[in-house]
A and B are shown apart, each in its own frame.
Chain A
Amino acid sequence: EIVLTQSPGTLSLSPGERATLSCRASQSVSSTYLAWYQQKPGQAPRLLIYGASSRATGIPDRFTGSGSGTDFTLTISRLDPEDFAVYYCQQYGSSLWTFGQGTKVDIK
């Protein structure tokens, strides 16, 4: 089973700043099968990025996904107040899906 490790655990930033979130896999992941989700308190997760770099429907272009192999990154170019949330990466491989443990982006 592929393990995804996200860092940092918590990112404290101010609105307007740039956020860089990391997701590292224990073995190589196909970019096709790497996704990112945003979750706010009391809500279900929302798909942000699929295929490592494609934005889901309605996702603003300040969200960018990149990476390949074992290292993937989610960048939020300028944090909007609504972006403070928890972010999860996810991968599919060998008929199994796994999530990273999450990165919380909170207000500094």
Chain B
Amino acid sequence: QVQLVQSGAEVKKPGASVKVSCKPSGYTFTDYYIHWVRQAPGQGLEWMGRISPKSGGTRYAQKFQDRVTMTRDTSISAAYMELSRLSSDDTAVYYCARTTTVTTSSLAFDIWGQGTMVTVSS
């Protein structure tokens, strides 16, 4: 069964960093990009960026450029998203999702993780 399994909920203080993991199963890890999307309470979906598990290459949304780092560990087939200098505005559910790397394809997000709630509170 193809799935993405994320790490558990986190509570952080303002100014801290958080690192969320995403572990795919049921397919070849390096064949698909991993994306990170967040959703603040009661709000819409916001794309943060993506990583190529094959090359490690990343592309970030401009809004997060200076605060987000996406990495992967091919030895254990896991992807990570680290967000630094947290504020209360970063309280959200963080999802990972995958797309094919084939640019002639639709590049739609066909599989999503279950989401990780990150709460930033003093």
Contacts and interface: CB of A to CB of B under 8 A. Distances in A.
B26 interface: no
B7 to A, nearest CB: 15
A33 B109 contact: no
Given A1-B62, A44-B113, A35 B45 contact: no
Interface string A87-108: 0101010011111111000000
A1 B95 CA distance: 22
A61 to B, nearest CB: 18
A67 interface: no
A47 to B, nearest CB: 5
A45 B50 CA distance: 17
> Interface range on chain A: under 10, 10 to 19, 20 to 34, or 35 or more?
20 to 34
A51 interface: yes
Nearest to A35: B108
B29 interface: no
A50 interface: yes
A27 interface: no
A51 B106 contact: yes
Given A88-B45, A97-B47, 5 more contacts: A35-B109, A45-B95, A88-B44, A90-B109, A99-B44
Interface of B: 35, 37, 44-47, 50, 59, 61-62, 95, 97, 104-110, 112-115
